[in-house]
Amino acid sequence: MSARIIDGKGFAEQLRARIADAVPPFCAAAGRAPGLAVVLVGEDPASSVYVRSKHRATVAAGMESFEHRLPADTDQETLIALVDALNADPAVDGILVQLPLPRHLDAQAVLLRIDPDKDVDGFHPVNAGRLATGLDGFVPCTPLGCLMLLEDTLGDLSGMDAVVIGRSNIVGKPMAALLTARSATVTLAHSRTRDLPGHVARADIVIAAVGIPNFVKGEWIRPGATVIDVGINRTDDGLVGDVDFAGAASVAAAITPVPGGVGPMTIACLLRNTLHAAHRRTGLATADLP
């Protein structure tokens, strides 16, 4: 194995420590802590685990965590009324509705209802539009975390060839927009892409967000490339990414492991977005924040 292993876990711990350091000065200026509200409908086990870790991380950073757990049979009106109440609550800076919602609920309508300036997940079309047009807004946490790891590993990304595999609204599309804004030359690949190995072979940066275990093969990777594996797939062999790690690590210059790579960055970036939301809503400067 020759690749440097990108330590997302360590990077995320440092980021969380810097965020925690920025909380007391905010509290002193605003007279309250930054607040994050998380809404969970139903008892999906994976979602419950995510919500619990978000709560713990929020409290550990010195922020206020407001948890709203609603029964699985909650109707659309009740959920919308809760979002409206959180939009209006001055103690709440960030609102996150944990996905997926039970099937009888219209997730799109719920996400559209969140005040874009409290949309710390960055899923509201207003924030997607801000990202696409280079305005300040909230960027989805997972691609933001990937960008931080990439810039920490490579420095200036301008002029680099990047291939993003997967075009979801949560990962692939915002990732491509972020890389474009950093002046990389971006190919956004998906299930209809012809000759994916050919695209990957030209890339300095490969981001895999597909959801298929070990999908990206080591022999596709250009020697010296940097590989970011977003995939989280539960298999009989445990948790694996979307990249054949052993194969890719033997040719890449740097690669994220699964677990311990991109995963821990997502929650750290959620706290980062909440800190920024709190500052913006209070009229405080964000320039020196992590």
Give residues in contact with ligand NAD (CB under 6 A).
142, 165-168, 170-172, 189-191, 193, 196, 209-211, 230-233, 242, 262-263, 266
Cα separation, 286 vs 290, in Å, equals: 9
Task: Answer yes or no: 98 catalytic.
Answer: yes
Q: Long-range contacts of range 48-57, CB-CB < 8 Å, 24 or more positions apart?
A: 50/98, 51/98, 53/267, 54/96, 54/267, 54/270, 57/16, 57/267, 57/268, 57/270, 57/271
Task: Closer to ligand NAD by CB, 200 or 252: give it.
Answer: 200
CB of 210 to ligand NAD, least distance (A): 4
DSSP secondary structure string, 150-183? HHHHHS--TT-EEEEE---TTTHHHHHHHHHHTT
| Nearest residue to ligand NAD, by Cβ distance, number only | 168
Question: Which one from 93, 118, 119, 121 is the annotated catalytic residue?
Answer: 121
Task: Closer to ligand NAD by CB, 137 or 172: give it.
Answer: 172
Distances (CA, A) of 109 to 1, 15, 44, 103: 47, 33, 20, 13
Q: What are phi and psi of 269, to 5 degrees?
A: -75, -30
Residues in a beta bridge with 104: none
- 255's enclosing H/E stretch is strand 254-255
Task: Answer yes or no: 217 catalytic.
Answer: no
CB of 68 to ligand NAD, least distance (A): 22
CB of 171 to ligand NAD, least distance (A): 4
CB of 231 to ligand NAD, least distance (A): 4
CB of 170 to ligand NAD, least distance (A): 5
- Bond before 259 cis per omega within 30 degrees: yes
Closest C-alpha to 281, from 24, 30, 23:
30
Instruction: Count the Cβ atoms, other than its own, within 10 Å of residue 191.
Output: 10
Task: Closer to ligand NAD by CB, 95 or 228: give it.
Answer: 228
Rounded to 10 degrees, what is the CA torsion of 106, 111, 112, 118? 160
Task: Closer to ligand NAD by CB, 33 or 165: give it.
Answer: 165
Task: Closer to ligand NAD by CB, 33 or 110: give it.
Answer: 110
CB of 209 to ligand NAD, least distance (A): 4
Rounded to 10 degrees, what is the CA torsion of 174, 178, 179, 185? 80
- Cα 235 to chain centroid distance, Å, stands at 23
Task: Closer to ligand NAD by CB, 41 or 196: give it.
Answer: 196
Q: Which residues are catalytic?
A: 54, 98, 121
